[in-house]
Structure 1
Amino acid sequence: MANYAIGDLQGCYKEFQALLAKVDFKPSKDHLYLVGDIVARGPDSLACLDYIYTHQDSITVTLGNHDLHLIANYMLDKPANPKDKLTALLDSAKLPAYIALLQQQPLALWLKQEQVFISHAGLNPAWSIKQALQHAQFAQNCYQGPHAPDYFKHMYDQHPPVWHEQLTEFEQFRYIVNYFTRMRFLTLDEQLELTFKGAITDSNAMIPWFKHPRFNTFKKHIVFGHWAALEGITNHANIHALDTGCVWGGKLSLMELKNKQYFSANSTDFI
């Protein structure tokens, strides 16, 4: 039995299957953790979701921003961005079942045996792992509950810069979701910077979240995706960036969670 984590699929089904074959993934005994962004921008989001649906007992997804966006558009009956290449998925008769499956998935996971925390964008330096899981559970209750459409309606409102007890439940949901699915940089006063998406550059105004001093002595492992521009490099031995830009011509990356061994499959779309 083995546990694996894979970075952002974003519809890259061929590379997904090549990577599973490379490690001889067996759904009957192995478990796969996908760090989110299953869909959008790549050539075959439908096939990716269908595989997950077929093998759902052996796969767990920590939802990414594209996954939540798909659920929100479905619930609010909004059109998809043509750039997301979701026509085949949205036309599928199984779309309601795929949406229901995604809606069951968490925002964050803690794997005690491997000492690994998993989420799409990483770990807010202000949160302990216990606090992060509590926040994730709150947000999960929101997007799984009877008022989920109301929360999705407010998901893209202005980000609350500071957490305080007077935040409404909609604001709390948005604050939590943004840290788990959209975080890359923090300002020097430790607020979320949501506009810059590029590679790490010298800046007097912001730092990557994992360069916060808290992580200099952090002993647990963090597995995340979301940030293809990193090309898998964090310069922290225990902070693992698995989005290596397959959909942009890079590669799809997998980590075996017990021994922290890496495997990859090159993008086929740009060869």
Structure 2
Amino acid sequence: MHYAISDIHGCIKTLKELIKTIEAVSSDNTYYFLGDYIDRGPDSKSVLDYLIDLKHSKQAIHIIRGNHEEMMLSTYLNNNIEDYLLWMNNGASQTLKNYNVPNGIYHLTGYIPKKYIEFIESMPYFIETEKFILVHAGINFNSDNPFNDKISMIWTREENYNSDLTKGKFIIHGHTQLPKKQILKNIENKNKILCIDSGCVYKQIKEYGYLSALNLDTLELISTENIDF
């Protein structure tokens, strides 16, 4: 089976529980992770460690870049206050605590091991299969070259569809939180653009607080309630 999972945001216990639920049904799976593994939640480092271990396992694992990984990478590589403040305004503080980075420090070399940076650098912005285009935030078909518009791929909140450019494929993405019942309704309506971010890290908000996986073979949604908070 093939599964897409998005927006884990440091919730390692919930991720492991979701994978356990999936593996109980089928152990021969291909996973597509759609970005935002870090920030806001309690243990971003452990999520990255888990994904790195999965990448080295026998299973087929595809790991796409999200805007939070991009912010971490930019802060590390550029060593400037602007990138640091943008990241901090988007939930970086817990991630920096995971790496024992003191408050106010944005020169991250020496705190974050290079293997994590190289891991993020290896993440593509999107993956295209026979039936799906998998991306973190979406594809901007108003762009002159939608499949080179990397900023939109990790940041856009717009949903537009071009059947000629997509060749009729589904676009599967995260980034924008939706109540689980809305995701299920969109699947039932056979929408060509399906957001699967059910707001795992926002457990305190009614109708959110689930980590979801979409079975790409059946379009069944499997969800686990957040157990990290």
Q: Partner of 1:39: helix, strand, or coil?
A: coil
Normalising by structure 2, we get a TM-score of: 0.75
For 1:75, the aligned partner's letter is L
Structure 1 vs Structure 2 CA RMSD: 3.0
Matched, 1:224 2:226: no
**C-alpha distance in structure 2 between counterparts of 1:27 and 1:95, whole Å:** 34
Alignment of 1:1-271 (within 5 A): 2-24=1-23, 29-57=28-56, 58-78=60-80, 79=84, 81=88, 83-84=91-92, 85-91=94-100, 95-112=113-130, 115-126=131-142, 132-133=146-147, 135=148, 176-185=149-158, 209-210=159-160, 214=162, 219-229=168-178, 231=180, 232-233=182-183, 235=186, 237=190, 238-249=192-203, 250-270=209-229
The percent identity for this pair of structures is 26
- In the alignment, residue 194 of structure 2 is paired with which amino acid? H
Distance 2:155 2:124 in 1: 15
Q: What TM-score does the superposition give when structure 1 sets the normalisation length?
A: 0.64
For residue 226 of structure 1, give the secondary structure of its aligned residue in structure 2.
coil
Instruction: Tell me how many residue pairs correspond in the alignment.
Output: 198
Aligned-residue offset at 1:37: 0.7
| Deviation (angstroms), 1:218 | 7.4
Tell me how far apart the structure 2 counterparts of residues 27 and 230 of structure 1 sit (CA, whole Å).
26
CA distance in 1, matches of 2:32, 2:143: 22
What does the per-residue CA deviation read over 1:3-52, in whole Å, with 9 as the maximum and x for residues that have no partner? 21101111111110110000117998422111111111111101100011
